[in-house]
Structure 1
Amino acid sequence: MSKPLVLFIHGFGSNGFGSKAQAMRAHCQQHHVPFIAPSLSHIPALALQTLEELIEQLSAVSTEHKVCLMGSSLGGFYAQVLALKYHLPVVLINPSMHAGRSLRRALGTATHYFDDSTYEWRESYVATLQEIEPDYPLPFTASQCWLLVQTGDELLDYREALDALPEVKTTVEEGGDHGFQGFAEHLEDILAFLENSVNHC
């Protein structure tokens, strides 16, 4: 039986040391589960290339472990694209479904949360996201994908994710915010879901 190797994909302007990544990293370490949360380029094409190379290399070197994806916000958008391409288990936390459209409002100067440095978010990056957007609804099953959303998400409409992922395991929490309040309460269940999923998809 395979074991999970968790690849966490952070959101827009974030990094591999955001609060959700840190919480999941600590939980995985406690349970001896390999965990990777790369700090990705803000350029979508480069971020995707990094993630694809990671998935392919990790899959090639280990027969014992299967890559599982976790993604938050923009990272959830990337995670959907990659889970479709490589047929991987995936957990989505307040994911962006139409990243090109929603991130059009960020055009111009944006900020990295890690050190408050700035970068330019360009029209071409929005175009890339629109080009790679999958056709919804997605064919994920309840054994492959778990969607966690909070209705109080101030940046994304959680109902878009529900419409796009009709057959998946779903948790809808009233209130909360885009950062997903109380995320740490779900760590044990998330790891259990991924441990089950690696042998069913």
Structure 2
Amino acid sequence: MQPVILFIHGFGSNGFGSKAQIMRDYCAKHDIRFIAPSLSHIPALAWQTLTELVEQLSALLAPQQLCVMGSSLGGFYAHCLAVKYHLKVVLINPSMHAGTSLQRALGEAINYYDNSPYEWRESYVDTLLQLEPTYPSALSDDNCWLLAQTADELLDYREAVIALPHARQTIETGGDHGFVDFARYPAQIIAFFKGTD
């Protein structure tokens, strides 16, 4: 049975970011359904979109068929969804404490799709703090895979290592926040979601 993959982009990004496109292209070649919505920058709206999408898809699919992955802030949302709905998840340089890490973004931010500005507000940070699950996460190595690079310039990879003690962890020396050479991983990610790795 082929997985159906929900990809969640990071802060200021969109469903056409580089990692989403790499996964989209791979899935298209292998007849795997792939969804990467472009979410609102407002966390309450993004979370509503994601939970409604997961609930609708889960009602239509076989158990465990829906899988989720996310990068940075998208990794935070993906982890929250995995905990809430018992989904398999892949986290790429995730923000485990998004409310805390995004305090530094307060004020004007930039949408990377068209470079349009938007305001990042304290109330948005509060929403993320409320969403944050309890750590350490109970997700295990058969349903959660952490991909992190130590030279991430925006997030300390060790926070994810500590928050996900039971997850499968692939920690690469060097790299950056965008996760250098992510194109090495789509086949392995699909195998993980299928349980055939």
Check conservation: 2:64, 2:88, Cα contact below 8 A: no
Give the C-alpha shift of residue 176 in structure 1.
0.2
Deviations 1:42-64 (CA, angstroms, capped at 9, x unpaired): 00010010001111111112338
TM-score (norm 2): 0.97
Structure 2 matches for 1:40-189, cutoff 5 A?
A: 40-63=39-62, 66-189=65-188
Give the C-alpha shift of residue 24 in structure 1.
0.2
Whichever residue aligns with residue 9 of structure 1, its letter is I
Change (3 A) 1:25 1:102: same
Percent identity for Structure 1 against Structure 2:
65
Give the C-alpha shift of residue 129 in structure 1.
0.5
Structure 2 matches for 1:6-21, cutoff 5 A?
A: 6-21=5-20
Deviations 1:76-98 (CA, angstroms, capped at 9, x unpaired): 00011110000000000000011
TM-score (norm 1): 0.95
The 3-state SS of whatever aligns with 2:171 is strand
Structure 2 matches for 1:190-201, cutoff 5 A?
A: 190-196=189-195
Deviations 1:93-127 (CA, angstroms, capped at 9, x unpaired): 00001101110000001000000011110000001
Check conservation: 2:26, 2:186, Cα contact below 8 A: yes
Give the C-alpha shift of residue 196 in structure 1.
1.0
Moved over 6 A (4+): none
CA RMSD of aligned residues (A): 1.2
Tell me, which stretches of 5 or more residues in structure 1 are unaligned?
A: none
Check conservation: 1:5, 1:65, Cα contact below 8 A: no
The 3-state SS of whatever aligns with 2:185 is helix
Check conservation: 1:70, 1:79, Cα contact below 8 A: yes
Distance in 2 of aligned mates of 1:27 and 1:128 = 34
Q: How many residues align?
A: 196
Deviations 1:141-189 (CA, angstroms, capped at 9, x unpaired): 1100000000000000000000000111110000000000010011110
Distance in 1 of aligned mates of 2:63 and 2:93 = 30
